[in-house]
Amino acid sequence: MTARRRRRAPPEPEYQPGQLLDWRDSSHWSDRPLPCRYCGFPAHTRDSRMKPAHKVCAEEALTIQAAEAQAAYHQEGTK
């Protein structure tokens, strides 16, 4: 009789949406709404560079940037 091997669950991604930046710090908030640097709608929140940005917009931009960097890294490794 042969032993059966259990399949491993796929690894959990390191990044979970909403966990890339810590938005709890009061420095991410401003009383004065300014246009979001990504979508243009007024935003009270500021990103890590203190530029006006919605949380969702900033994290989506960082996710896209990370994916592009990963793709460039893999493309560079295949040459």
Tens-place pLDDT, residues 7-62: 777 666 665 555 667 788 888 899 999 999 999 999 999 988 899 999 999 989 98
Cα separation, 62 vs 49, in Å, equals 12
* DSSP for residue 28: G
Say if residue 4's pLDDT is above 60: yes
Tokens of 60: 């989506």
pTM of the model: 0.64
